[in-house]
Amino acid sequence: MQRLTAFIQKRYLIAVSLVATLISVPGLFIDWSFVDDGVTVMISQKINDAVFHQKDLLSLLSLIIEPENGRVRSFYWLLQWFFWLISENSAFLRHLYLLLMVLGISVISAWLIYKTIKNKLVAFFALSVWLINSGNSENWYRLGPQEIPLMLLLLSSLALLLYSVDFFESSGKKRQPYFLLSLPLIPMAFYTKEIGMGYFGVIASTVCILMVLKPFKYINWARIWIYVVVTLLSSVSVVLLLIYVSSLKSGTYSAFYSISQSGVVSGLKTYFTSLVRSIYPLSYIGIFGFLVWLFFYKKKRTEFFWIFFWVAWTAVFLMIQIPWGIPLPRYLLLASFGASVVMVVGIHKLINFVRLNFSPKIYFLFILALATISARYVLYQSQDIYNYLETQIVGTNVSQDFLKYLSLNMQKGDRLVMNFPKNDVYLELVFETGLHLRTFYGRSDISLAYVQDVDKINHSDWIVGLKPHQNIPIVMQYPQKQSFFRITFFDVKQNQEIIRNIVSLKNWTQTDTWYVQKE
């Protein structure tokens, strides 16, 4: 244990990088997914055509402003286009870029947290708690979510600002280039995902407490106020553009973001519970330790300022998510980051409180209990991450085998009939299947149809359904001059094709999907 502690103290950034890499590397084995990946590549190709072939600014703007969705993620799409330019259709390279972004976030975060709380061990464990939080699994292993590039841009801007204004040391250096670099990263972040606007709330509240506490001898107010103004203007521009694009079409994606009394109460309960549970049981110990520090510790102004900053970060990025009507764990990436820092700082304060106010025996029992709880947290979170990762690796491999089978066996002009339940998840699967066949396999000659009526099937059709009670693609063909269906599906565990012949249509049952009875 002492050697591990010494290693973290001496090789702090290396230790953080090792944890981040250990979490991220398995993502390199994930193939293209049916969730968003096809759309992302398609839009990247369209942006490329608009820039280099059509040279049409209006076409480019329609792609990166998204009037159809009522969203404003312009820089996100430009970033995806850049990734496509340097990797094209390589899923491995795309996941490698994701790994590098996670690694960049971890290193910048490690520097920021250490500089603010002045303890490498606490900073290391705070980051580790966040990295192994299974609620963030989608962000570590999926290519679509915008939270990772958003967080990288925000933290980079913040680190450059704090370094340029001498918050951590009175060096007397001007460091103006670092400050200038911090400014353009703000609109880039806000136009990566709209919730980045919450960063203005973090900065504004922090500046207010900075004016009251005055925790630093030297404060470059000119740079701070310029930073606040740029953050404010970037937020206003996103809000105005959101209002404009939302007015162009009703029923867009942004319609799920609504503010009402009942919605706010429900959202607060849902998101806060999700955040606390994601760090359970350390969250309850951390909250208790934070309260102990708040009421029993003599607080230094600098320490209070930085803890307030992390509390504000957590609260703002939790609150801005509340009106969003579709709660998913990955949306809490930024809030869980701040919460992990606050919780681990609280636990550290509680450890010191017990050490100073109780007998060595009680202190030993407390540390033993805390170590047991921490081990439980690591075990359960690691298991959840492993389960999610296995599902992603196996699921994407099965999906690509399924697509390869179609691309190799279907003839030009064949029709692919999709039969899934009528909900958004499966309709996206229908859409993505066509995109994957065209983009990754060059089969734009295959026509797709979505039907739920057996009578509308032709003898030459290829049919895709789901294996009963499992989300496994089944490829079915009703060959001409034959009285049976040829059924091919992919076994998830063995990842192999299984072919069966079904005697006739009478063996079908029809509910919301088509199921195949046993022979």
pLDDT (0 to 100) of residue 367: 92
* Mean pLDDT across the chain: 81
Q: Which two tokens stand for residue 217?
A: 């001898």
Give the pLDDT confidence of 38-51 residue by residue, as tens digits.
Answer: 889 999 999 999 99
Q: Which pLDDT band holds residue 472 (cuts at 50, 70, 90)?
A: very low
User: What is the rounded average pLDDT of the residues 183-207?
Assistant: 95
Q: Which pLDDT band holds residue 66 (cuts at 50, 70, 90)?
A: confident
pLDDT (0 to 100) of residue 421: 59
Distance, in Å, from the CA atom of 461 to the CA atom of 455, rounded to the nearest integer, reads 12
Give the pLDDT confidence of 501-511 residue by residue, as tens digits.
Answer: 333 333 333 33
Q: Which pLDDT band holds residue 370 (cuts at 50, 70, 90)?
A: very high
> Which of 99-108, 238-247, 302-311, 352-361 is most confident?
99-108
pLDDT (0 to 100) of residue 433: 83
pLDDT (0 to 100) of residue 418: 74
User: What is the rounded average pLDDT of the residues 445-466?
Assistant: 70
Burial track 222-256 (b if 16+ CB lie within 10 A, e otherwise): ebbebbeebbeebbeebeebbeebbeeeeebebee
102 contacts: CB under 8 Å, gap ≥ 6:
20, 23, 24, 140, 148
Specify the range with the lowest mean pLDDT, choosing from 294-303, 328-337, 458-467, 495-504. 495-504
* Structural domain boundaries in the chain: 2-357, 393-516
User: What is the rounded average pLDDT of the residues 46-67?
Assistant: 87
User: What is the rounded average pLDDT of the residues 154-176?
Assistant: 79
Specify the range with the lowest mean pLDDT, choosing from 18-32, 148-162, 287-301, 421-435. 421-435
Q: Which pLDDT band holds residue 426 (cuts at 50, 70, 90)?
A: low
pLDDT (0 to 100) of residue 90: 92
Give the pLDDT confidence of 333-348 residue by residue, as tens digits.
Answer: 999 999 999 999 999 9
pLDDT (0 to 100) of residue 492: 39
pLDDT for residue 191 is more than 90? yes
pLDDT (0 to 100) of residue 205: 95
pLDDT for residue 494 is more than 60? no
pLDDT (0 to 100) of residue 252: 59
CB under 8 A, 24+ apart: contacts of 430-437: 431/38, 431/39, 432/34, 432/35, 432/36, 432/37, 432/38, 432/39, 433/34, 433/403, 433/464, 435/38, 435/39, 435/41, 435/42, 436/32, 436/34, 436/37, 436/38, 436/399, 436/403, 437/403, 437/406, 437/407
Give the pLDDT confidence of 110-154 residue by residue, as tens digits.
Answer: 999 998 988 999 999 999 999 999 999 999 999 989 999 999 999
pLDDT (0 to 100) of residue 480: 40
* Residues 282/126, Cβ–Cβ less than 8 Å: no
CA nearest to 254, candidates 312, 324, 203: 324
Q: Which pLDDT band holds residue 489 (cuts at 50, 70, 90)?
A: very low
pLDDT (0 to 100) of residue 497: 41
pLDDT (0 to 100) of residue 141: 95
Specify the range with the lowest mean pLDDT, choosing from 152-166, 233-247, 386-400, 504-518. 504-518
pTM given for the model:
0.86
pLDDT (0 to 100) of residue 283: 83
Burial track 17-53 (b if 16+ CB lie within 10 A, e otherwise): eebbeebbebbeebbbbbbebbbbbbbbbbbeebbee
pLDDT (0 to 100) of residue 465: 63
